Amino acid sequence: MKITGLLTVIICGALLTYYAMDFPDFGDGRSPANTYLSPHFLENTMHDAHVPNSVTTILADYRGYDTMYETTVVLTAGLACFFLLRRKESTSPPARFFRHVPTGLTLRIEEGGKLPAENSKVFTRIDSLWAPDSLIIRNTCRLIIAFVQLFALYVVAHGHYSPGGGFQGGVLLGSSIILFSISNDLRRTLKRFREKTAAVLGAIGVLIYSGTGFVCLLMGAHFLNYEALSPLLGLKTGDPMARSHGIFSVEIGVAFAVMSVMIWIYYNLSSAGKHDEGL
């Protein structure tokens, strides 16, 4: 097996090297990939949509269908993780651990023992592979998470003018929740951002994207042709700002979908589908 695999890989690499010799040189401005379509996009992005960052324009406007179905793919991946891993029946662990808050003692309660009340102020449940309750990590993460979310909103909103956009901002928002879940524990995170919320928000994100396109259809233009939105926004017909706002609404949808799907996949992967004890 090893020899066969190595031989396949070497033959593949040799063929690729042979054909790579015919490629245009690295950094050549007149290569075919750089000449046909992209100059048109670059020269018209300010005129058409009033968005300096041409990557955002192409992503959400010129190639809007592509991005819409990519968002659907991401949502489908979240659903696939859910259906593969989620276990509804509660397989209770052999022993549970509780911390007595006033004294800091740790209690180990065997299966069948008397458990404290669910919302008890005196006892808090901790994971069996527990990390000690580190004040430094918890408070630093509490400080950082707010700034991460603020930066994520900046990235989503400022994607027209600088690198960024819905995908990056969504992943940043998701990773802030993941950071909370790592620094505290999974159950506390699930109380603040439930799995159902994640699923619904992901669907809402895709709905915002396709709904924007559908509104354009209702206004009498093609699907995802944001110029038709200008009467709704109180702009003159043909104003490029209509396209800019359309792109912004689409980016918000992408951010919702990506954020919730990242969190959803993390919930299912980190607890092996049980939502009982996390990472």
Partner 1 sequence: MEQIFTAMGAKYNYVAYIILMMVGLYAMIVKSNLVKKIIGMSIFQTSIILFYVSTAYKTGKTIPIVPYDAHAAVQAADFINPLPHVLMLTAIVVSVATLGVALALAMKIYRQYGTLEEDDIHEDLRSEEGKS
Partner 2 sequence: MIVLTVIVGLLMAVGLFIFLTAAVGMIRFPDFYSRLHPAGMIDCMGVLLTMGGLALFALFDGGISLASFLNFAKIVLIVVFIYITSPTATHAIIDAGMRAGLQPWTKKKDM
Partner 3 sequence: MSLPIDFIVLALVVICGIVAISVKDLMAAAIVFSAYSFLMCLSWAVMGAVDVAFTEATVGAGVSTVFCVAAVFHSTRRTKD
Q: Which residues bind partner 2 (CB under 8 A)?
A: 131-132, 134, 136-137, 140-141, 143-144, 147
Contact 67, 59 (CB under 8 A): yes
Does the footprint of partner 3 cover residue 78 (CB under 8 A)?
no
**Encoding tokens for residue 274?**
């049980």
Does the footprint of partner 1 cover residue 73 (CB under 8 A)?
yes
- Please tell me the distance from the alpha carbon of residue 57 to that of residue 42, in angstroms, as a whole number: 9
Q: Which is nearer to partner 3, 215 or 262 (CB)?
A: 262
- Please tell me the distance from the alpha carbon of residue 146 to that of residue 196, in angstroms, as a whole number: 23
Nearest distance from C-beta of residue 143 to partner 2, angstroms? 7
Phi-psi region of 165 (alpha: psi -120 to 50; beta: other; left: phi over 0): left
Among 128, 138, 162, 233, binds partner 1 (CB under 8 A): 162
Contact 230, 144 (CB under 8 A): no
What does the buried/exposed string (b/e) look like for 46-81 if buried means 16 or more CB atoms within 10 Å of the residue's CB?
A: eebbbbebbebbbbbbbebeebbebbeebbeebeeb
Where helices occur in 159-234 by DSSP H, the ranges are: 166-183, 186-192, 195-218, 230-233
218 binds, among partner 1, partner 3, partner 2, none (CB under 5 to 8 A by kind): none
Nearest distance from C-beta of residue 136 to partner 2, angstroms? 6
DSSP classification of residue 100: E
178 binds, among partner 3, partner 1, partner 2, none (CB under 5 to 8 A by kind): partner 3
DSSP classification of residue 95: E
- Binding marks (x or -) toward partner 3, 134..173, rule CB under 8 A? -----------------------------xxx-xx--xx-
Does the footprint of partner 3 cover residue 269 (CB under 8 A)?
yes
Q: Which is nearer to partner 1, 12 or 131 (CB)?
A: 12
Q: Which is nearer to partner 3, 124 or 168 (CB)?
A: 168
The helix or strand, by DSSP H or E, that contains position 130, with its residue range, turns out to be: none
- Please tell me the distance from the alpha carbon of residue 18 to that of residue 32, in angstroms, as a whole number: 19
Q: Which is nearer to partner 2, 144 or 235 (CB)?
A: 144
Nearest distance from C-beta of residue 229 to partner 1, angstroms? 20
131 binds, among partner 1, partner 3, partner 2, none (CB under 5 to 8 A by kind): partner 2
User: What's the alpha-carbon Rg for the chain, to the nearest Å?
Assistant: 25
Q: Which residue, 205, 147, 168, 216, is CA-closest to 53? A: 168
Nearest distance from C-beta of residue 163 to partner 2, angstroms? 13
What does the buried/exposed string (b/e) look like for 134-162 if buried means 16 or more CB atoms within 10 Å of the residue's CB?
A: eeeeeeebeeebeebbeebeebbbebbee
Report the interface residues with partner 3, using CB under 8 A. Answer: 53, 55, 163-165, 167-168, 171-172, 174-175, 178, 182, 262, 265-266, 269-270, 272, 279
Report the interface residues with partner 1, using CB under 8 A. Answer: 1-2, 4-6, 8-10, 12-13, 16-17, 20-21, 23, 25-29, 31, 33-34, 37-43, 45-47, 50, 52-55, 58-59, 63, 66-67, 70, 73-74, 76-78, 80-81, 84-85, 161-163, 167, 171, 258, 261-262, 265, 268-269, 272
